[in-house]
Homo-oligomer: A and B are copies of this chain.
């Protein structure tokens, strides 16, 4: 999985929005894509968690030519700062409360 924590510069925001939508679409088409969560911190950072089946899929996505181009524009224009973390999910579990009234 990748954890991407970003702060936008505010510059060229229309193209950013278009590119972001395109990147989400492309990321989903990438083999090994499992899902994502997008959230926003109280201080205005966007945190996106992207899950891939394995390291190889994640690297293929990182190296995708269209994605590379967007990354470059991100550094040149769109982001004031960002932080990327690559992590391996080791285990997990889910809790679901019993439906009320049952």
Contacts and interface: CB of A to CB of B under 8 A. Distances in A.
Interface residues of A, number: 34
Contacts of A37: 5, 41, 45, 47
A47 B36 CA distance: 12
A contacts with B: majority SS? strand
A84 B41 CA distance: 19
A30 to B, nearest CB: 19
B91 A83 contact: no
Interface of A: 1, 3, 5, 9, 37-42, 45-47, 49, 75, 79-97
Nearest to A99: B80
Contacts of A96: 80-81
